[in-house]
Structure formats: structure tokens, C-alpha cells
Chain A
């Protein structure tokens, strides 16, 4: 079913806004949502496949945990721990791929683990659910602080304003371009009876909040996060600084912006 997005304005405290327009919704649509999310995106699968055996990582915003079993041809060689705000999605993530997985009920802005303990972190289709630019920046900072200062790798995907023809969604007409993306509602049509009968006023359509990123916005967010942590963006060779983050790839795929980062220290 084709669906379209509508513009919205974050008119309250960002955290409260996310609670109402993101967290509460995922907990209610978890079962149906999970049944539609099983296919790993190629660049993410390739990233996970490239990690050396023995790596441990964080999937921040794991949803139903579809990336936790990867790489499929080298099972148990790495361990990805999945974090999400939706407890109902975590019930699926805990057994993703039919095996016992390690999951945490937590917030993507918090750092509830040993600083720098992870070898890698992925955040797929998650940061676009945060309702202010400072919270989005803070989420990136948490990812950077979570991975090893010497070799930690990070892959982030967020939804793009720039949509491809294959996408099911149609975007409201372009307004003036500012380098900052668009706050929108994306409807989720529930094709089954809702788990929570309280939503009887309109039981089948759930409007999820997204911040759609424009070209360059994700990279700027990373630049701000890195600077805020007192590090530099660039390669170790080209810098006199001691700690930094290198951008390994930065692009657009299937209506999403993505960026791959690597920490270094000398």
C-alpha cells in the first residue's frame, strides 16, 4: 500500500515528543513491524562481514534485531549486542535468527557500558527518530564514545529527504532549502488488530515521527559531535592531533544517507 508522509513540527519537549510519536508507537506495532523487517541492507551486511573474528559491537536501535545474526557465513565469530527503546521489539531481537541474542533495554543517548569497550557500533534507521538536532548530535557522540579509541568503527544510516523512485513513499513538495532536514510523520498502517485497544479512535494508522536528513546534514552532525568530544575529523596521518575520527565512506543508498567512521589515536 503506498503511503505518504506529512510535515510536522516538534512543538513540545523533544524527549516527550519522541515518547509519544516514536516509542509508544513501536511498542504497539512491534509484532507487525518485525514481520516486515528481515532483509539486511547490503552495505550494512558488508560492514559486519568485514569485522575480524572476536569483535564485539553495539547495534543502537536494533529494532527486531535483524542485524544481530550477521555475518551469516561466519556465525558466532562476532557478537553484536542490540539496544532499543521498545521492549516489545526487543522480545523479537532476543531471539533473532532463531538463536539467543544479547539485548539491552536502553536509550541511544545513554552510555550504560564500559566506555570504548566496543570494537564497532551500528545505528541503522534510528537517529532520525530523535526530535532535536542536539539530541541527534548526542546520539552520535554516544556511538563514538562507545567504541575503541584506537580502532572503533561506526556505521550510521538515516532516512533521506532525497528518495529514490523505488521507495513507496511520496514526499511533500520541497520548501526552501536550509541544510536542515524535514520533520515529518510517516504513517504505519497496521494490518492486524492493535495490541492496545485504547487506541480505538483510529486503531490502524500510527504516525511515527522522523527527521528526514538532507544531503550533507549527517556529515555535519558527525563533524559537530566529533568537535564536541574534543577530537578532529580526518585521517591520523594528516593531523597533528592525538585523537580523531576518519570518515571512511559517506553516501546515499536506497533513500538513506549513511556514513562510516573509524576512530584513531596516536
Chain B
């Protein structure tokens, strides 16, 4: 599971409708997955990026770029330079989480990741 999916996923357990994003990682094993750099994609996706989530994610200890230092404030779209775009590209599209857990910041529900696939299924009594 690449981190772009983490930027999308939210808890959907019964009654959990606020503060349910982002899910919090734990026990993560990841690997680098090189992906073709596509500035057009990133610029289009840019308005959907929650900057605080991105910089928090970029500081996760399983990120393997060396230092992924992103500015604390989100740059305007037109001010984005290639270096920053490449860092965003790396964080969102080049880290593949193979195993781990994601827990909801609100209700604590845990979504496991196995063989690179996040399990978002809920038991019947947990469904909203």
C-alpha cells in the first residue's frame, strides 16, 4: 500500500464520522517502490493534500529518502519547485507499506495491512 492510499483512507466504523482521518501507522514494514515522476499528476492532486498529514507522514521513521524535509507551510501551487514536487512524489508514491497497522485517531479501530493490501473490511456490528 503506497502512502497516497493512506492519504485517502479514513475510518468508517459505526458512529465514527469525525476526526477519523488520518489513520495512524504502527508496526510498519515498508519497502521502496520506484515510480515514474509525474508532475502533472502531483499538481492535479495537490489541492487534495492535507499538508499537516503529509509532513507528519514524511517524518515517519519508515520513510527512506534520507531526509524528507518539506516546508512547514504548504507552498502555493504556482510556487512549487521541482525539488519539492519530487519529495512529495517520493512520500506519496514511492513508499510501499507491506505490513503494519493503521488505527483510527477517534475510535481506535485497527485496520491491518498484509502483503501490501490494507484490510478495510468491518465486522457486521461495526458497520456504520
Contact = CB atoms under 8 A, between A and B. Distances in A.
A112 B41 contact: no
B1 A79 contact: no
Interface residues of B, number: 35
Given A52-B44, A54-B45, A104 B5 contact: yes
A69 B126 CA distance: 33
A56 B128 CA distance: 25
Looking at chain A, what size class is its interface with the partner chain? 20 to 34
Interface in A50-85: 52-56, 75-79, 81, 83, 85
B15 to A, nearest CB: 14
Contact of A105 (B2, B8, B119, B124): B119
Contacts of A94: 116-117
Contacts of A20: none
Given A54-B45, A79-B45, A81-B5, A104 B36 contact: no
Contacts of B48: 56, 117
A17 to B, nearest CB: 14
A84 to B, nearest CB: 10
A162 to B, nearest CB: 34
A90 interface: yes
B122 interface: yes
Given A56-B45, A100-B2, A114-B21, A77 B117 contact: no
Nearest to A146: B8
B5 to A, nearest CB: 5
A12 to B, nearest CB: 15
Contacts of A53: 38, 40-41, 43-44
B33 interface: yes
Contacts of B121: 85, 105-107, 110
Contact of B120 (A79, A99, A105): A105
A114 B40 CA distance: 23
Contacts of A79: 4, 41, 45
Most chain B beta carbons < 10 A, residue from A94, A102, A106: A102
Given A105-B117, A114-B10, A76 B2 contact: no
A180 interface: no
Contact of A104 (B21, B38, B45, B120): B120
B11 interface: yes
B35 A76 contact: yes
Contacts of A105: 117-121
Contact of B43 (A54, A56, A100): A54
Contacts of B117: 87, 90-91, 94, 103-105
Given A110-B122, A114-B10, A76 B36 contact: yes
A152 to B, nearest CB: 12
B9 interface: yes
Interface in A110-155: 110-115, 117-118
Q: Which of A77, A103, A113 has the most CB of B within 10 A?
A: A113
Given A83-B120, A85-B121, A100-B33, 10 more contacts: A53-B43, A54-B43, A54-B44, A77-B38, A81-B8, A105-B117, A105-B121, A110-B12, A110-B122, A111-B128
6 contacts: A56-B4, A79-B4, A90-B117, A100-B33, A112-B120, A114-B10
Interface of A: 15, 52-56, 75-79, 81, 83, 85, 87, 90-91, 94, 99-100, 102-107, 110-115, 117-118
Interface of B: 1-2, 4-5, 8-12, 21, 33, 35-36, 38, 40-46, 48, 96, 111, 115-122, 124, 127-128
